[in-house]
Homo-oligomer: A and B are copies of this chain.
């Protein structure tokens, strides 16, 4: 029997509407390298949401987006500040360092960083014998499922501007973050409150693809050279253009986030009802319930998920991830096992 997987939000292919559009446009000839009509259609649709004339580039994955953006913006001696749990700090096999840059890390409780923590890092970097921190990297939602509020982001961006730091938001799971009930941010807000961010397609219903949005025009200079140099420029760039056009038509991107969050909330509520706690407050499509080990063992016979962290001898936190594709009946099945 196949186990249903709550391991991640990239277990399935793509939303059917996206596949449909790929098929319909299949034999239409286009120019290559992201300058085709589909990419431009996607750009226009995104710009309606953000209400800015930001530069928009499409690449195939999150690590690629991160390394291209950071390597493009920083000078060799400049570093980027991130949470210790940040994707670039841990889970990219040193991709940022491979482009020559140090990641200065901040220890956090909930995956989010704030101005006073950044100030501490700045205080430690005083002269040319040390790197010069020049960018702040945050993920929204974070790697542990938390989301930034509008006031938190506003405060962060203001601090960055006052301190000549660029703010870059990794939006691999932005769909879930922006539609979280605990989040009061819009895509337009995000564009106004960051220098660069990217919108994750891979983890929100696309086959592949992330859209890099450069709000600070200075940072867009010759950006396409950087994409090409790092191997991120697809000959058939149309593939990502078509998908993002579909994602931002008819609100599909947000509707998928809403569904993922609803499934996560149903899981969380059910788990909570049974009297279990969480590693941190459930707020997006990743939740981290703490369960007895014997129950975890039982659940593993029917479901796949990550055991995240040992809590004590008898219990552990697990990670459950939902997506646009999570069927409600599998959520029910899971809850029925508790």
Contact = CB atoms under 8 A, between A and B. Distances in A.
A111 interface: no
Interface string A197-229: 000001100011000000000000010111111
Contacts of A115: none
Contacts of A8: 32, 235
The 3 closest A-B pairs by CB, nearest first: A64-B231, A77-B225, A13-B26
Interface of A: 2, 4-5, 7-8, 10-14, 16, 19, 22-23, 25-33, 60-68, 71-72, 75-77, 79, 90-95, 97-103, 128-132, 202-203, 207-208, 222, 224-236, 238-239, 325
Contacts of A66: 231
B63 A228 contact: yes
Contact of A208 (B60, B64, B129, B222): B60
Nearest to A238: B13
Nearest to A3: B29
Nearest to A228: B93
A131 to B, nearest CB: 4
Copies assembled: 4
Contact of A10 (B28, B32, B95, B99): B32
Contacts of A235: 8, 10, 61-62, 202-203, 208
Given A10-B235, A208-B236, A77 B226 contact: yes
A94 B96 CA distance: 12
A30 to B, nearest CB: 6
A177 B202 CA distance: 33
Contacts of A23: 19, 23
A22 B13 contact: yes
A103 B101 CA distance: 11
Contacts of A93: 77, 128-131, 225, 228-229
A238 B207 CA distance: 9
Contacts of A91: 129-130
A220 to B, nearest CB: 12
15 contacts: A10-B235, A10-B236, A61-B231, A64-B231, A76-B225, A77-B94, A77-B225, A77-B229, A90-B130, A93-B129, A94-B101, A128-B227, A131-B225, A132-B222, A208-B239
Contact of A128 (B67, B130, B222): B222
A75 B102 CA distance: 17
B26 A98 contact: no
B225 A128 contact: yes
A144 to B, nearest CB: 15
A236 B8 CA distance: 11
A12 B32 contact: no
Nearest to A59: B231
A101 B97 contact: yes
Contact of A12 (B26, B61, B132): B26
Given A12-B26, A13-B27, A239 B97 contact: no
B228 A95 contact: yes
A225 B129 CA distance: 7
A129 B92 contact: yes
A141 B235 CA distance: 17
